[in-house]
Structure 1
């Protein structure tokens, strides 16, 4: 039997591998838009606008996640989570190996859906096992470390994707992703002990009406719209042409903007997770969620901030960008800081409830499930706002969702759990 440290490292490696693949697609998304050139499409007499097709580039991924949450969570609680994790890591290897063959919007959206299934399974099983192995008083800390591994991969993935795409195109990027995933699969097979917990029945039934989970869901269902719009459209805002409302940065500059959010989140999460263990996880969920909305409001003003501060528009190794580059880089980093307060605290609360009720994978499954409306509808709404209203409107609407989610959470929390619940949870 392997000790806990080896098992945690195997789980961190699986988080790293999936994070590496996920962020690569986010970084390359504006260039897929430019390459595949989505246009209005008519299906059975119904016209689907180019904006909706752009939204499906992200929503295809989240639809795959939504459809797989319940069956994967049930398999994880009913059988061996380690075997499920090995299976979805294997699926990831196949999916990323097929991405170089993409030649149309339809094939890209299909592979994004399969990617969503693989990432969902990896995240559910990996985080469930971290929460299960860790002691109750240290869960947010260990979950923060697991998330930090994912963010470290995001930094490496976004930077390498930008460099490799500029030099070689799409193909070599996915070869590297497949190799990283294979190493993660082998590490999981070699070092992670079989999961001997078994939960009979259907744990979703009881957990769906758990009062704490319902309270957390009142925030999370709204916050999902914010993150799925703001996080994706920061990259799109940076990379698409000025004619489409963007800043037309090169691939490496876009990757730096994306990596900034991941870097600050990676650095902060182990620390903020430990703080939330000590001072109240609900407080960190509320504060981090509200602050995320406020920062999102400022993102469209990056060009104005750059001009007001007379910031340079040309940078060594990056060429001519615009004076908006440094402000957008800083705002992306700030989004990572504020979200680092929310994420490990939220995950630890779901892990607490799942462990105490005997269905930790189902608890994380519910956490994923309430995220799905925002992750599916949010990008579609963002694509429509981008093409029909303005680029800035995506960030205003996304920021508003974060603020209303935080305020709803505060009202429900104090109404049903008492005024001291912000600190006692």
Structure 2
């Protein structure tokens, strides 16, 4: 299963998530410096989640039809544009708008990258290999805030946004040059295996699917509510940029250490019990 496509996609997604996570904890502080208060600070996260939620299901289905690689590249380029947008923004409204664009880019990158991995994984081994692949996301999300804190402390916000743009451009180049295209037959066969054509209403009629969806919704709401204002709170307490970045990095590093084990455990144990635990 450790093949060239897996390694290329793992590396490119790790680089991309590093770029994405560099700005996430700093955007509320950046928006506040541009005059944002209360609801607008919250919107720096909520707007991202809204567009990601809207486009996520479509991105997977479109990639089943038109190919994985173009959508991954498109998502990375959208994030590249968003990074330049943050760099040139003159108001917090512009920050929110470019954050919405980032949400679209994220839906293309991660939904389609996971679909690509699903094309490669043998049936019955999904938990193990999705767990391994997820470490790339989490390591990137762990490194990004710490690097951003260092850049902001010594070089300012502009250096963070420029670095993000460079990381997105390099990741797009990696995918363009090195990631093979998945044949239509393989895509459609994998899509059929995942039953991706089930309607949302039919999927939600399954009590287990509904329970998992609601659990993820509540968990994400709790995480987003905290994440939106934690950096602002720490900034108000006089916490330095590096320590703020380290605060956000620690959770991701701990999660990355556990992912391979929990993924393999999910293939062997009762997944419902694991979710409750």
**TM bracket, shorter-chain basis:** 0.7 to 0.9
- Residues 38-83 of structure 1 show CA distances to partners (whole Å, capped at 9, x for unaligned) of 2xxxxxxxxxxx4222221111111221332243222111121122
> Which residue of the partner structure matches residue 118 of structure 2?
131
Find the aligned partners of 1:95 and 1:30 in 2 and give their Cα distance.
15
Contact 1:159 1:259 in 2 (8 A): yes
Find the aligned partners of 1:101 and 1:234 in 2 and give their Cα distance.
24
Q: Shift of residue 33 of structure 1? A: 4.1
Contact 1:239 1:250 in 2 (8 A): no
1:209 aligns with 2:202: yes
Q: Assess, with a 3 A threshold, how the Cα gap between structure 1 residues 222 and 281 changes in structure 2: closer, same or farther.
A: closer
> Which residue of the partner structure matches residue 277 of structure 1?
267
Mapping 1:333-348, distance limit 5 Å: none
SS at match of 1:136: coil
| Rg larger for | 1
> Which residue of the partner structure matches residue 193 of structure 1?
180
Match of 1:225 among 218, 230, 246: 218
Q: Shift of residue 236 of structure 1? A: 2.9
Find the aligned partners of 2:80 and 2:207 in 1 and give their Cα distance.
35
Find the aligned partners of 1:116 and 1:152 in 2 and give their Cα distance.
20
Contact 2:28 2:44 in 1 (8 A): no
Q: CA RMSD in A?
A: 2.7
Find the aligned partners of 1:250 and 1:212 in 2 and give their Cα distance.
48
Find the aligned partners of 1:9 and 1:208 in 2 and give their Cα distance.
36
Find the aligned partners of 1:186 and 1:257 in 2 and give their Cα distance.
31
> Which residue of the partner structure matches residue 244 of structure 2?
254
Q: Assess, with a 3 A threshold, how the Cα gap between structure 1 residues 51 and 238 changes in structure 2: closer, same or farther.
A: closer
> Which residue of the partner structure matches residue 10 of structure 1?
8
Find the aligned partners of 2:106 and 2:130 in 1 and give their Cα distance.
17
SS at match of 2:202: coil
> Which residue of the partner structure matches residue 101 of structure 2?
114
Find the aligned partners of 2:100 and 2:58 in 1 and give their Cα distance.
16
Q: Shift of residue 206 of structure 1? A: 4.2
How many equivalent pairs are there? 271
Unpaired stretches in structure 1, ≥5 consecutive residues: 39-49, 288-425
Find the aligned partners of 1:17 and 1:209 in 2 and give their Cα distance.
36
Q: Shift of residue 99 of structure 1? A: 1.4
Contact 1:239 1:249 in 2 (8 A): no
1:78 aligns with 2:57: no
Find the aligned partners of 2:139 and 2:82 in 1 and give their Cα distance.
22
Q: Normalising by structure 1, what TM-score? A: 0.58
When structure 1 is superposed on structure 2, of 262-271 and 232-241 the one drifting more is 232-241
Q: Assess, with a 3 A threshold, how the Cα gap between structure 1 residues 139 and 212 changes in structure 2: closer, same or farther.
A: farther
Q: Shift of residue 265 of structure 1? A: 0.6
Q: Shift of residue 108 of structure 1? A: 0.4
SS at match of 1:37: coil
Q: Assess, with a 3 A threshold, how the Cα gap between structure 1 residues 94 and 30 changes in structure 2: closer, same or farther.
A: closer
Q: Assess, with a 3 A threshold, how the Cα gap between structure 1 residues 70 and 247 changes in structure 2: closer, same or farther.
A: same
Q: Shift of residue 25 of structure 1? A: 2.3
Find the aligned partners of 2:34 and 2:69 in 1 and give their Cα distance.
38
Contact 1:26 1:232 in 2 (8 A): no
Q: Normalising by structure 2, what TM-score? A: 0.87
Q: Shift of residue 203 of structure 1? A: 4.7
